[in-house]
């Protein structure tokens, strides 16, 4: 995924870190296993 769009694919949090959105993860099509904040495959207890 070459062309990422701020606000759609990612945003910057209060610490200035890039956070990938659920939309980005869904387009990518798989879980990377890193516990991303917006991972649509993450288990919620």
Question: What are the pLDDT tens digits along the chain (45 aa)?
Answer: 569 999 999 999 999 999 999 999 999 999 989 989 999 987 665
Please state whether the predicted TM-score (pTM) of the whole model is above 0.75. Answer: yes
Confidence at residue 37, expressed as pLDDT on a 0 to 100 scale: 92
Closest listed residue to residue 18, CA positions, set 4, 3, 30: 4
Residues 6+ apart with CB under 8 A from 23: 8, 9
Q: What is the DSSP letter of 35?
A: -
Confidence at residue 44, expressed as pLDDT on a 0 to 100 scale: 60
Confidence at residue 15, expressed as pLDDT on a 0 to 100 scale: 97
Confidence at residue 41, expressed as pLDDT on a 0 to 100 scale: 87
């Amino acid at each position: 995924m070459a062309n990422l769009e701020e606000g759609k694919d990612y945003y910057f949090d209060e610490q200035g870190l890039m956070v990938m959105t659920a939309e980005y993860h869904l387009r990518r099509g798989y879980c990377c296993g890193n516990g991303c904040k917006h991972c649509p495959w993450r288990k919620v207890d």
